Amino acid sequence: MQNWHDGRDVIKLDGVYQLIGQPDSDGLTYRVALAQILLGSRAFPKVETEKIINELTNEFSPDAQKRYFEAIKAARNSYEPLSGNKAEPDETNSLLSKLDQTIQFIKSVDLMTFHYQNSHDQKDRTYHGLPVTLYFDTFYFYVVFNLENHVAGDYTFFRLDHMTDIYPYGKKKQDPNNKFHLHDQRHYVNLLQMGEQTTYQFKCWISP
């Protein structure tokens, strides 16, 4: 017997394969998978995480809600956000709010202004730039910018959780050459095993 992805089973009866059981009409399996990925990412403070988890239960029947919360109970109860995401932010600087704002700027192709505090010197700096794309990778959301006064194709990466005070810059910067290829970028990230494997040979002398 083989389990089907939507809750049904494939069985072989008299040499014939048959699909039995009821399909997962609520999409329970998929939503549990999304919730487990969310909890495993540790990307959001607890309040925002709970908002997303509860949002995934929209249109669930009471029975499906019960099964959903039972399936994620252990991961939910042990959820521990990353150290930088433990403090509950105000509404305007919440990660979900910044996600929404950035998505709107990308869609409208508008320059935006934001403050940014990097991890090295903790200094707060102001930037103006065109957000080209947004993606998630290894615990964090990143925004790819073509900054003001930079040529097309010159990109700078910013962590979304370090960005604050996002607002329109009041200018447009439309350039057909601003085509960032995320697929290519992923081949250069050392934490993702997507590039070609390279074998090195070297000699090593170790003191006895």
Q: Rounded distance, CA 79 to CA 35, Å?
A: 11
pTM above 0.85, yes or no: no
Would you place residue 13 in the very low, low, confident or very high pLDDT band (cuts 50, 70, 90)? low
Pairing of strands 163-172, 16-20: unpaired
Of the listed ranges 60-64, 121-125, 127-131, the one predicted with least confidence? 121-125
Residue 62 confidence (pLDDT): 87
Helix (H) or strand (E) holding 126: strand 124-137
> Highest mean pLDDT: which of 6-15, 89-98, 178-187?
89-98
Residue 178 confidence (pLDDT): 59
- Looking at per-residue pLDDT, the higher value among 43 and 151 belongs to 43
